[in-house]
Structure 1
């Protein structure tokens, strides 16, 4: 049977269709999840996609983190279900306390829309195990609040435990230690600001490097 990957849609989400297509290309069966759903419909993994959920009111991701579907995601993530948060999804995961730290306004307060070169720092997570440590991948980034920050103790813990998953080669948003993506303690939950789902087809992306994250998840589920 195919891996079942759920893709959540919140009011204001705009990258759910792209995330669903990426998962399908990777060979998964995609299950659409609505923000008001409490039932995750038997999915094996969840993608929390990018966009402007709830209009980014209050704080980016803060309202979405309280949605019924996220309460179910938090519960299942605690049991080991793989979860990927992309851009606004990464913000939601930090607000839901599934990942530490916070995403704040970019340095200079500019919105950036660029193709970002990332270095793979950890290739043992559920979402990066088809990549090579030290490999550079090229995927789009588009955000105004992607500056990763955390207290010194948390940064030391992330670095010491190898939980920094991706780093920017050009730290355009001012993130601490060039951090573009991190994982939880088990490596089953990953969040990153750039968009792998926009780099899965040669026709539309700067590369197909982003497909590897979805292939990794499908392989993790199969294993």
Structure 2
């Protein structure tokens, strides 16, 4: 009986131990094979001009800000090649010595003046943006940190613009200048890692219409913006 009792106790101990030690169950990871890089974007740039007239100069920091949303549309199985299109808004500010004023008849006049000839001079505009881009990245469904190169075209519509010139005698404030080309377009590229990316945009369309001239020469200013762009999921 003692032997039977001892075997019973031993079997009970093994059963209790088996009940306490449970096999580890690893959670199943669901692979999102349809992930996208739909993103909000925000950029900050230094604004410059190309195709400038003689003696044209910029001073201070000409700031540009833009933000919007991009819809990602992958083109391959790995989803690291895609196209994207979106919608955004931008604010562009320029400090320079291209003066915009009005003559005695009320006609808009353009000139290039030395900085000592006026107190302050600035031009700013607000636009609606439509970016269309081709995308390459080495992302995966489980990682939001990756290298990227995005490039494409941006179409813009200037819905508001203002120039302000203080020549020390009077202030000329011109809103929605009729000589401004409201429709703008140009290529851009952004490249970087994770959130931080370099960005550059070159405008192909002149800022002013052909009617705008300086000293008899056509005013052919084009915009060039360089800075940083941030992508946020």
Q: Normalising by the residue count of structure 2, what TM-score does the alignment of the two structures yield?
A: 0.23
Q: Which has the higher helix share?
A: 1
Q: Normalising by the residue count of structure 1, what TM-score does the alignment of the two structures yield?
A: 0.23
Q: Which has the higher strand share?
A: 2
Highest Rg: 1 or 2? 2
